[in-house]
Structures are given as C-alpha cells and as structure tokens.
Amino acid sequence: MTTLTTTTEEPALGTVVDRMARREVAAHFLIPADQPPGVIRPPAPPMAVRIRTCPVCRADSGTFRASGIPLPFAEWRIVDADETGAGDLPTMTLLGCEWFAPRALLPVALAIERFGPVVASGFRSRAVALTELPGWPFGAALAEIDQQEDWLDVVLAGTADGFPARTACTVPAASRPVSPAVTWGAYRDSLTARFAGPHASDTDDGRWNARYLEIRRTTAAQTLRGYATCPA
C-alpha cells in the first residue's frame, strides 16, 4: 500500500517538480531514429509490458485489458506478472489504472535501440516506482524518483555508452488514468495527465500536479518558439 504523507509548501519540492516537468518536455522533443532508405522498421523495439495490481484501487491487468486502451506500439505485448517467458525482452511495468501516451515512451524506444534490449530491462512508471517507496513523504519520494530518471541525460546526450548500470529506470513522464467514465465529459476529464500516477498526483489537493502541468506546457511552448532548450 502506497502511503504518501501530506506536505507543506517547500521550495525544494517545487524545484524537483519543475525539473521533472522540464525533463518530460526534453524527452518529448527527442527525434526518433532515422529509417535507412528502403528499410521499413517498426516504430519501437519489441517490449514486454507487465501490468501490476494497483495497491490503491486494485486495478489489475484485467482492468487494463477491459478498458480497451491499446498499447502504444503493435510490437509490445502484455505479459502476466508471473510470466517468465518474456525472454530477453526489455520490460515496462505499469499499474492497472494508468496508461502512457506513445510520445511519452519515445526515450524508452531510443534507449533500447541505442543500448540494446538487455540494458535497463526494467523500465517502469513513476506510479510503480512510488509503490516501492511505501511510507515515504511525498517530497522525499519525488526526490528519489527524480534521481531514477537520470538515465534520460544519456539519451539526450546522444552518446553510444554511459547508460546507468541499474535494473530499474523510471520513465520521466506523466501518465493518464484508465477511466471507467461512461460520459464524454467524464472521459475528457480523465484525460488530464497526472505526473505522479493516478493517485499520488492528488497529494495536497493536486497543486503539485497543476504546477507540473503548467511548467510542462510553458516549457514546451518556449521550446517550440526557440526560447528554451528545456534541459532537465
């Protein structure tokens, strides 16, 4: 069970939230790998997606499958939590109540292409990372996740080596909740990105999520206009 304590306003937490937002924007502006002339390759390397049961709402792989939300790439497939047949495929772990927009996973695809499938075989969402920090104060948990996202620096640098030697890399991106909404309005509301996953983003009445999305929006706009390079 993920338990996140309520926080008070503190500059350090705001700094972490801002940095994580700018990091996601930097990842969004990565350029997909070139297709050699005459070669048609899949848009992303194969990957196994593990759906973990959410400790808060109990959504599981059945919830995710029933939602009808497709995986972002046809080359990716869902494997059961206890399935060992994923072989050498890199893995992505999500909660049953969240999903990623395809663009959010571009740095993952580039990392696998550049460094090979055995490198960082354990990509996971921020929400999954939080489940592994039970009882941590929200600010401390975010600071830990902030560090787990540093692998993106190597991808942004465009170098061919130097990928951090670790078994789990947290994806620097907000996710969206898997919604049971049956009305258009409820569905539209459910599309709001949540920077720390479906539940922890509500911490402090969602003000950190609102701040994150504002920084993400303004940084992306500035980058498009050439006013910022959005370094993480």
Applying CB under 5 A, which of residues 20, 26, 44, 54 lies at the interface with Zn ion? 54
Closer CB to Zn ion, residue 121 or residue 201? 201
68-107 binders of Zn ion (CB under 5 A): 97
How many Cα atoms within 13 Å fall on the side-chain side of residue 130?
Answer: 27
Burial 114-138 (b: 16+ CB within 10 A, else e): bbebebbbebbbbbbbbbebeebbb
Applying CB under 5 A, which of residues 56, 196, 200, 213 lies at the interface with Zn ion? 56
Is 51 an interacting residue with respect to Zn ion (CB under 5 A)? no
Contact by Cβ (8 Å): 139, 5: no
- Candidates 33-41, 144-152, 179-187, 195-203 — which segment interacts with Zn ion by CB under 5 A? 195-203
11-50 binders of Zn ion (CB under 5 A): none
Closer CB to Zn ion, residue 14 or residue 55? 55
Closer CB to Zn ion, residue 139 or residue 177? 177
From CA 34, how far away is CA 32, in angstroms rounded? 6
From CA 139, how far away is CA 6, in angstroms rounded? 9
CA angle, residues 16, 18, 19, in degrees to nearest 5: 65
Binding-residue total with Zn ion (CB under 5 A): 6
Closer CB to Zn ion, residue 51 or residue 56? 56
